[in-house]
Amino acid sequence: MNKTGFWKKSASGALIAAMLLASSLPAAQPVVPLAFVSVAHAEGEVKPAAKLEIQSPVGLLMDAKTGQILWEKDMHAKRYPASVTKIMTMMLAYEAVANGEKQLTDIVPITENAYLVEGSSVWLDPNEKFTLQEMLEFIAIQSGNDACVATAEFVAGSEEAFVARMNKKAQELGMKDTHFADTNGLHHPDHYTSAHDIAIMARELVLKYPQVLEVTKMQTKMIRDGKFKLENTNHVLGQYDGLDGLKTGFTDEAGYCLVGTAERNGFRMISIELGAPDDAVRVSDTMKILDHGFNNYKSEPVIKKGESVAELAPITSGKEKEIGAVAASDLNVAVLKEGGEFETKVVYNEVTAPVDKDAVLGQLQVVQNEKVIASVDLLAVQDVEKGSWIRLMFRGIGNFFGGLFGAIGDFFKGLF
């Protein structure tokens, strides 16, 4: 056999072997670079916000859009929430409406249990007829315990069944410091929460059912043909620019509590203070917490809904090896007005074809001080079919020889 014939047969055999080997290998995944963006354009070390001191033993400040906790004081301390509990009661009433179980125009029966409940009340009578919308007003404005019981029984069949829903929802929301024993916050040793968990449920209520703010911002309302006046127990209303909620609470064991929320120029804050010695302190502490937020922080846009990220998403076994991705929703982040820097990072999941358009491919994460403080899902811009076996085979061959020649190149480069 001549040398030429031997070379042809050897090369042919090597090629076939390489093809078989390559077709059995998964397609190589491209390395996805990280995107770093500094939106504040501040130089040097990030400056901390001015120090905040309040008289209440527990406090918290949250950016409602992102859930970022911007300041806190003993936020995981076990506390009795008193009527702050009613944030969850209102949430589940709105949820029942959203799920089609009830309507706001439904008449809510007033049972003997509701009529006899202790504590703050609107003195409901079993002979009266009020809608679910009116019950929510009684809860939000007057903090009516009787309205809570009537609403709970109407929505879930009994107060016990409603409380079970409350605890289930708390678990779903990740409220690990919380257990509810009633719908209204009357003192019970097994009814407790924390500022951290209250912030979670307040944010859920405000973002998911923003119509509640039309109720919680009411300072007064006349009912019973103008014979009875509801008066809001939240005395920050009318005194603080942009404040439109949310809920007060008081028992001897809980002290004076207030969950406030205010919005200025699209930037919504949630404030929490628990355990104040009197109403004047809870009002002043709430204002201090909100001032701290609005004076020191600003809301920065990161990406808009439908906007693309620069990095393509790798797809395994697809007709296309990589595709574009867009943000599922707007993403803003709260940063210090002075020295507030952050980075963004694209993180893709391992995705195998077929892929449907709008499928979640990964996340755009906002990172500050090496901690993820906010994120938004990234969605596929197109469908991706599973690649044919021959396409995947030749892609594998290309990856194999690309890696092989790259290794050879690196070898020879190392010799010189």
Burial of 79 (0-12, 13-18, 19+ CB in 10 A): buried
Residues 176, 196: Cα–Cα separation, whole Å? 9
CB neighbourhood size of 30 (10 A)? 12
User: What pLDDT score does 94 carry?
Assistant: 98
In sequence order, the β-bridge partners of residue 369 are none
- Catalytic entry in 65, 73, 86, 217: 86
Residues 351, 353: Cα–Cα separation, whole Å? 7
Residues 48, 383: Cα–Cα separation, whole Å? 46
User: What pLDDT score does 297 carry?
Assistant: 95
Residues 364, 343: Cα–Cα separation, whole Å? 10
Place of tokens 């998911």: 208
**Preceding omega of 354 cis (within 30 degrees of 0):** yes
User: What pLDDT score does 289 carry?
Assistant: 98
3-state secondary structure at position 34? coil
- Catalytic entry in 83, 120, 194, 271: 83
The per-residue pLDDT for range 361-405, each reduced to its tens digit, is: 999 999 988 888 889 999 999 998 886 646 545 445 645 555 544
User: What pLDDT score does 415 carry?
Assistant: 40
Could you tell me which of 11, 21, 17, 28 has the C-alpha nearest to residue 395?
28
Residue numbers belonging to the annotated binding site for substrate:
247
CB neighbourhood size of 383 (10 A)? 16
Handedness of CA 184, 260, 244, 335 (dihedral sign): negative
Q: Are strands 313-316 and 297-303 parallel, antiparallel or unpaired?
A: unpaired
User: What pLDDT score does 341 carry?
Assistant: 82
HSE-up (13 A, CA, CB side) for residue 133: 9
Residues 211, 137: Cα–Cα separation, whole Å? 12
Q: Which domains does the chain have, with CATH numbers?
A: 26-42+303-396 (2.60.410.10), 58-276 (3.40.710.10)
The per-residue pLDDT for range 153-182, each reduced to its tens digit, is: 999 999 999 999 999 999 999 999 999 999
User: What pLDDT score does 393 carry?
Assistant: 57
83 an active-site residue?
yes
56 an active-site residue?
no
Place of tokens 């009912």: 223
143 an active-site residue?
yes
> Can you spell out the DSSP letters for 70-122?
EEEESTT--B--GGGGHHHHHHHHHHHHHTTS--TTSEEP--HHHHH--SS--
- Give the largest Cα separation in the chain, rounded: 115
Residues 101, 120: Cα–Cα separation, whole Å? 28
Residues 258, 142: Cα–Cα separation, whole Å? 14
User: What pLDDT score does 165 carry?
Assistant: 98
HSE-up (13 A, CA, CB side) for residue 169: 24
Low-confidence ranges of the chain (pLDDT < 70): 1-50, 387-416
